[in-house]
């Protein structure tokens, strides 16, 4: 079955659109900028080898060694920014040891991270000349062959390329087809080579397992100290609220009951009034005790699970709350407790500060993660740097290897996304 010209044009259009897509252009731009930086990659290696060769000769080349190390570090930082600008690729910085004196600075200058950055410039020089040069040659040869049909009238008779007579229409057309194939091959090569280069940069410039462990230990120490402070503040809040609120009301209840008991026989109406007052004070004390224990682990969470516990919070919230819980089974008790506390605190913040007409709480499972999203249609403008509330929630979430993100532009909406390990 012969393809009609419209079908051929449609097929060629799809191929051209795929080959000229944005990600293909980004891959080629990454490889070409790497090739363009090859002279810069060469400088630290030349300086270091020159310094190493001249140092035995009266220490003449000694100043070149730290200069090569510093230049390699600058190039590595520039490459991180380049990959982020081109591919939005974030490379975690290795943990830097604190430098308090010249010995620490010297050790940092010739430390493990500095040697990795110097090695990176050498490897990237070889990579640029190999991968970048290969793609550049394939694209240049393909473009040249593709233009031969247009240049064939200008070629002398008998002109040949690789044994093919390109002075004729058939030979020039064959060269153009070969050029198109080379262009497609060059564009296709960009994707795996760019990915390989990105992986190489991550391995050589990014944080390794030791850096991750050190950063993890530092984060845990920081979050632990903040959690201890938060627990102390919470204890003081409970003690203060119990002393100033519920304790005073219970004392008033006891005094009213004592006065009613002494007047029950002499003045029944006054005793009945005192009993009514004591009853109202007892109900107010119960409400204050609920407020004091807000956010603590309730019995309904342990016995019935997250959905009934959160439904009770939503029912007490003055702002209407749309609650959606999609959990096939219960997560770990620690994950349940953290999720309950986060939702409780966020709904309290919405009530106090958001000026919202409606709030939404959605909780669901995604793979091995417990995901929850709390949003409102309030005024927005929430900033984690201006208050301790979000900081405390973030510390509580990070303590179980979770993650909390806040989006709150002025004018709303405010959205808080929390990710917790299912088996935290």
Alpha carbon distance 152, 165 (integer Å): 10
- With bands split at pLDDT 50, 70 and 90, how would you rate the model's confidence at 3? very low
Of residues 23 and 120, the one with the higher pLDDT is: 120
Is the confidence at residue 150, as pLDDT, over 90? no
The 10s digit of each residue's pLDDT in 279-303 is: 877 777 777 676 666 556 677 788 8
The 10s digit of each residue's pLDDT in 314-347 is: 888 888 999 998 988 888 888 888 888 889 888 8
> Is 388:328 a contact under the CB 8 Å cutoff?
no
End-to-end Cα spacing for the chain: 61
In this prediction, residue 298 carries a pLDDT of: 72
Least confident of 71-75, 245-249, 297-301, 395-399: 245-249
The 10s digit of each residue's pLDDT in 79-132 is: 888 888 877 676 766 655 555 555 556 656 777 778 888 889 999 999 988 888
CA neighbours closer than 13 Å in the CB half-sphere of residue 422: 10
**Secondary-structure percent of the chain, ordered helix, strand, coil, rounded to 5:** 70, 10, 25
Least confident of 85-94, 343-352, 395-404, 410-419: 85-94
Question: Using the 8-state DSSP alphabet, how is residue 92 labeled?
Answer: P
The 10s digit of each residue's pLDDT in 45-55 is: 898 888 888 88
On average, the pLDDT of the chain sits at 77
In this prediction, residue 279 carries a pLDDT of: 80
> Is 160:166 a contact under the CB 8 Å cutoff?
yes
Question: Where on the phi/psi map is residue 57: left (φ > 0), alpha (ψ -120 to 50), or beta?
Answer: beta
What are the φ/ψ torsions at residue 127 (nearest 5 degrees)? -65, -40
| pTM above threshold 0.75 | no
């Amino acid at each position: 079955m012969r393809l009609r010209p419209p079908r051929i044009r449609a097929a060629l259009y799809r191929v051209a659109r795929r080959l000229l897509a944005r990600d293909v252009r980004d891959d080629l731009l990454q490889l070409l900028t790497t090739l363009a930086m090859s002279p810069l990659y060469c400088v630290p290696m030349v300086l270091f080898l020159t310094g190493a060769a001249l140092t035995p000769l009266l220490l003449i080349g000694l100043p070149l060694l730290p200069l090569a190390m510093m230049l390699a570090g600058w190039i590595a930082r520039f490459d991180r920014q380049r990959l982020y600008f081109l591919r939005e690729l974030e490379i975690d910085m290795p943990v830097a040891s604190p430098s308090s004196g010249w010995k620490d600075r010297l050790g940092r200058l010739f430390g493990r991270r500095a040697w990795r950055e110097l090695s990176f410039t050498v490897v990237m020089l070889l990579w640029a000349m190999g991968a970048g040069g290969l793609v550049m040659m394939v694209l240049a040869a393909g473009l040249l062959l593709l233009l031969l049909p247009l240049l064939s009238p200008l070629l002398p008779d008998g002109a040949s390329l690789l044994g093919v007579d390109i002075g004729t229409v058939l030979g020039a057309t064959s060269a153009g087809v070969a050029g198109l194939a080379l262009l497609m091959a060059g564009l296709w090569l960009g994707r795996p080579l760019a990915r390989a280069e990105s992986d190489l940069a991550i391995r050589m410039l990014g944080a390794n397992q030791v850096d991750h462990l050190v950063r993890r230990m530092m984060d845990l120490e920081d979050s632990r100290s903040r959690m201890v402070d938060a627990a102390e503040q919470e204890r003081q809040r409970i003690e203060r609220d119990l002393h100033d609120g519920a304790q005073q009301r219970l004392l008033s209840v006891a005094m009213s009951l004592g006065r009613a008991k002494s007047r029950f026989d002499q003045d029944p109406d006054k005793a009945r009034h005192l009993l009514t007052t004591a009853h109202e004070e007892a109900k107010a004390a119960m409400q204050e005790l609920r407020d004091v224990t807000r956010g603590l682990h309730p019995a309904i969470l342990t016995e019935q699970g997250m959905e009934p516990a959160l439904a009770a919070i939503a029912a007490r919230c003055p702002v209407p709350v749309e609650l959606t819980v999609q959990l096939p089974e219960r997560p770990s008790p620690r994950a349940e407790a953290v999720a309950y506390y986060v939702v409780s605190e966020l709904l309290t913040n919405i009530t106090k500060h958001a000026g919202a007409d409606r709030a939404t709480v959605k909780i669901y499972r995604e793979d091995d993660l417990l995901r929850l999203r709390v949003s409102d249609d309030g005024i927005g403008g929430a900033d984690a740097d201006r208050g301790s509330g979000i900081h405390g929630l973030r510390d509580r979430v990070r303590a179980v290897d979770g993650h909390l993100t806040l989006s709150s532009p002025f004018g709303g909406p405010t959205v808080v996304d929390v990710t917790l390990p299912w088996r935290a």
